DNA sequence: TATATTTTAGTGGTCGGACCTCTGCAGCAC
DNA sequence: GTGCTGCAGAGGTCCGACCACTAAAATATA
């Protein structure tokens, strides 16, 4: 994969990676204190920290000040703000985010209909109930909304697609919460979610995909109206002209 | 988003993020030397390096020993080995990788058929020609294969989906290259790619999606046969039981 | 005794400043 | 011109000290 000799960073990364692959390290496990670990690996604490920082940025490690460093637990997740950062860099458009989400979640819903288990079905049911119970509390509603979609992702049986979805939705979350307070028609939203749920429960993957797509398209429209008047869905693209500035930019 | 006060790391990240958002920093730009930058930000070089390391892990910065640190150029890309790392951690299955790729690329092909521009069409055409020209050189063939799919991703007009695809394919690349040498039937593969190309050129998104799906399904079968006898597509999943080990694991 | 407070040990976070290694290029020898 | 050498500038590594946070033990208090 990469050189394991030079570059202390990669040495650390590969070492830990190996520990994970051999099962010596599992989610939730704590690694030794930095000072001790560094001594054992015959490298400086600074270099060790560089490697750990890399893994932490990837979402593989969870560093807690004053407590310890742990292998990430919970659902797989790429770097939390990675997409947000990349978006700032490459100027991602809002409609592109929504489109990506729409495509991913539609397929996720279809897979969930095929593979979802009882536990997932009932978990969805619970979230639906909570949504109906909080139609007048947009903030709370949003929480269950997010959970519902997350359960579908789990039910799909494909943690990779689930992780990708999580990456996108987390980049979208801040924006959603801002507009959530002014949300209305949560009843309609809940109804749509219920339709999705029913499609999944009845193992109708085509229907699940279709309703999910309808739901997310509607959500996008609502969001666009909240933000600015004109939602600009017209797509385009182009290859950025290469350039190679040699001097550091002013900061 | 995150605290900008404490945590030097996030201070650096947010600072650079702001520079990018305001357009002061653009892809390809070089940031000041670490020593100078650190002095200017009133922080230690070590802290600055931590922040830069975070951004580098995210694929936002490109650090070159002895040269300088640059804002990432080229196509957007999440952390290169992030999925690979997460896979080791959560035990992603090969079929899950393929499934994710199949879904993403099928939709990408459909979008490319709707939005692809002349430049993309001709770029695809070139790669197809190269593929036919290298049917007896699997290694070289693979290069053009990858490029072809990358052009489609660009033609889709959605850089987010393109970045997600890139993340998956790069995690799959090593495995592909290993088996590439023993590949046969590259002629058939090229034919399929040509079908995809034609569908896109004729703006037939349904056809493009269908053929792409067929192509990737075939590719998966071929890969499975190369690796081990039985491809285990049966899906399942379950919620890992939470645990909280307190003591560091042996290393 | 039960509870609130303080102390303390352990862990990650920051610092600065020395030295190493790599890269690109100017300048020199051929 | 071609090729080698040396140098300057950039990131990489290291050390050792000290700061900041957390959780749990020890102590004070009701």
- Ordered by where they begin, the domains of chain A are 8-71 (1.10.10.10), 82-227 (1.20.120.530)
Which residues are within 8 A (CB) of A157 and not within 5 positions of it... i.e. 6 or more apart?
A111, A115, B96, B235, B236, B237
Give B79-93 pLDDT, tens digit per residue.
Answer: 777 888 888 888 899
Return the minimum-mean-pLDDT range out of A14-23, A162-171, B184-193. Answer: B184-193
What value does the mean pLDDT of chain A take?
Answer: 86
A79·B72 Cβ contact <8 A: no
User: Minimal Cα distance from B175: which residue of A?
Assistant: A1
Report the alpha-carbon distance of residue A239 to residue B150 in Å, rounded.
13
Q: Which of A89, A111, A174 sits opposite B1 (nearest CB)?
A: A174
Report the alpha-carbon distance of residue B90 to residue B24 in Å, rounded.
39
Block residue for tokens 């702001």? B18
Instruction: Walk across the sheet containing A30-31 and list its strands.
Output: A30-31, A68-71, A61-64
Average pLDDT over residues B95-113: 96
Average pLDDT over residues B179-187: 76
B197, B124 contact by CB (below 8 A)? yes
Tell whether the model's pLDDT for residue B57 goes beyond 80.
yes
Q: What is the pLDDT of residue B245?
A: 40
Average pLDDT over residues A187-195: 92
A217 CB within 8 Å of a chain B CB: no
Assign B230 a pLDDT band (cuts: 50, 70, 90): very low
Q: What is the pLDDT of residue A23?
A: 92
- Nearest Cα neighbor of B180 from B148, B139, B221 is B139
Report CA A199 to chain centroid distance, whole Å.
24
Tell whether the model's pLDDT for residue B229 goes beyond 50.
no
Q: What is the pLDDT of residue A234?
A: 44
Intra-chain end-to-end CA distance of chain B, in Å = 36
Percentage of chain B with pLDDT > 70?
Answer: 85
Q: Can you give the three-state secondary structure of B88-100, one letter per residue? A: HHHCCCHHHHHHH
B233 touches strand D (CB under 7 A): no
Q: What Å distances lie between residue A103 and A186, B82, B223, CA to CA?
A: 23, 22, 26
Q: Can you give the three-state secondary structure of chain A, one letter per residue? A: CCCCCCCHHHHHHHHHHHHHHCCCCCCCCEECCHHHHHHHHCCCHHHHHHHHHHHHHCCCEEEECCCEEEECCCCCCCCCCHHHHHHHHHCCCHHHHHHHHHHHHHHHHHHHHHHCCHHHHHHHHHHHHHHHHCCCCHHHHHHHHHHHHHHHHHHCCCHHHHHHHHHHHHHHHHHHHHHHCCCCCHHHHHHHHHHHHHHHHCCCHHHHHHHHHHHHHHHHHHHHHHHCCCCCCCCCCCCCCCCCCCCECCC
B164, B104 contact by CB (below 8 A)? yes
Tell whether the model's pLDDT for residue A194 goes beyond 90.
yes
What does the DSSP assignment read for chain B?
---SSS-HHHHHHHHHHHHHHTTSS-TTPBPPPHHHHHHHHTS-HHHHHHHHHHHHHTTSEEEETTTEEEE--SS----TTHHHHHHHHHT--HHHHHHHHHHHHHHHHHHHHHH--HHHHHHHHHHHHHHHHTTT-HHHHHHHHHHHHHHHHHHTT-HHHHHHHHHHHHHHHHHHHHHHTT---HHHHHHHHHHHHHHHHTT-HHHHHHHHHHHHHHHHHHHHHHH-S---------PPPP----SBPP-
Return the minimum-mean-pLDDT range out of A181-185, B8-12, B217-221, B245-249. Answer: B245-249
A249 CB within 8 Å of a chain B CB: yes
B101, B169 contact by CB (below 8 A)? yes
What value does the mean pLDDT of chain B take?
Answer: 86
- Please name every residue paired with B248 in a beta bridge, in sequence order, or none if there are none: A30
Residue B6 CA and nucleotide D20 C1' are separated, in Å, by 11
Tell whether the model's pLDDT for residue A178 goes beyond 90.
no
A67 touches strand C (CB under 7 A): yes
Longest dimension (CA), chain A: 61
Q: What is the pLDDT of residue A225?
A: 63
Q: What is the pLDDT of residue A237?
A: 41
| Chain B residues touching A60 at Cβ < 8 A | 85-86, 89
Residue A65 CA and nucleotide D20 C1' are separated, in Å, by 9
34-53 in chain B: CB under 8 A from chain A: 37, 40, 46, 49-50, 53
Pairing of strands B61-64, A68-71: unpaired
User: Minimal Cα distance from A104: which residue of B?
Assistant: B104
B196 CB within 8 Å of a chain A CB: no
Q: What is the pLDDT of residue A243?
A: 39
Report the alpha-carbon distance of residue A10 to residue A8 in Å, rounded.
6
Residue A246 CA and nucleotide C23 C1' are separated, in Å, by 14
């Amino acid at each position: 994969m990469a050189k394991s000799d030079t570059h202390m960073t990669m040495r650390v990364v590969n070492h830990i990676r190996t520990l994970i692959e051999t099962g010596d390290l599992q989610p939730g496990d704590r690694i030794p204190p930095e000072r001790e670990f560094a001594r054992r690996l015959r490298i400086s604490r600074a270099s060790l920290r560089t490697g750990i920082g890399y893994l932490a940025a990837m979402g593989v490690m969870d560093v807690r000040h004053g407590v310890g460093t742990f292998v990430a637990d919970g659902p797989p997740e790429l770097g939390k703000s990675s997409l947000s950062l990349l978006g700032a860099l490459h100027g991602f458009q809002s409609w592109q985010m929504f489109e990506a989400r729409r495509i991913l979640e539609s397929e996720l819903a279809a897979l969930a209909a095929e593979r979802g288990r009882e536990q997932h079905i009932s978990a969805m049911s619970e979230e639906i109930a909570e949504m109906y119970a909080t139609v007048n509390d947009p903030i709370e509603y949003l929480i269950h909304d997010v959970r519902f979609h997350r359960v579908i992702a789990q039910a799909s049986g494909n943690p990779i697609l689930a992780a990708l979805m999580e990456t996108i939705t987390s980049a979208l979350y801040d924006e959603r919460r801002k507009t959530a307070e002014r949300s209305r028609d949560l009843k309609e939203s809940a109804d749509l979610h219920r339709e999705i749920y029913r499609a999944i429960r009845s193992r109708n993957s085509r229907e699940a995909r279709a309703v999910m797509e309808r739901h997310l398209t509607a959500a996008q429209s609502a969001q666009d109206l909240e933000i600015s008047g004109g939602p600009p869905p017209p797509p385009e693209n182009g290859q950025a002209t290469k350039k190679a500035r040699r001097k550091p930019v002013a900061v």
